[in-house]
Amino acid sequence: MEPQAMSERELHGHIHAALATPSGRVLREFLRTHCFMRPAPAPGPWRGGEQVEFRYGRMTLFQLVEYFENPENFKVKE
């Protein structure tokens, strides 16, 4: 099934299950430290719109992964 065809709750179930495994935890930390939020000695200047869009895209992607992974965002409201 394509992710676009899933409800948010279904997508949450898949992301949560995948990242709950030991390999998923390793993947999440790899993404956090090497792709999205690599620490640097100091913030560097952002040069040009393409670089800003690229960095914003990575940040947004990681925020979406964390949103869909968190069961608190998908609790049934009473």
Q: Give the tens place of pLDDT for each residue, 39-77.
A: 566 666 777 888 778 777 777 888 888 899 889 998 877
Q: What percent of the chain has pLDDT over 70?
A: 81
Q: Which residue has the tokens 């409800």?
A: 7
**Domain count across the chain:** 1
Q: Note down the domain range covering 11.
A: 3-71
Cα separation, 21 vs 16, whole angstroms: 9
The pTM assigned to this predicted structure is 0.65
Question: 2-30, pLDDT tens digit by residue?
Answer: 767 889 999 999 999 999 999 998 988 88
| Segment holding 27, helix H or strand E | helix 22-30
Cα separation, 60 vs 56, whole angstroms: 6
Residue 76 lies in a domain: no
Cα separation, 57 vs 45, whole angstroms: 17
Residue 27 lies in a domain: yes
Residue 54 lies in a domain: yes
* DSSP for 6-49, written as a single string: S-HHHHHHHHHHHHTSHHHHHHHHHIIIIII----SSPPPP-HH
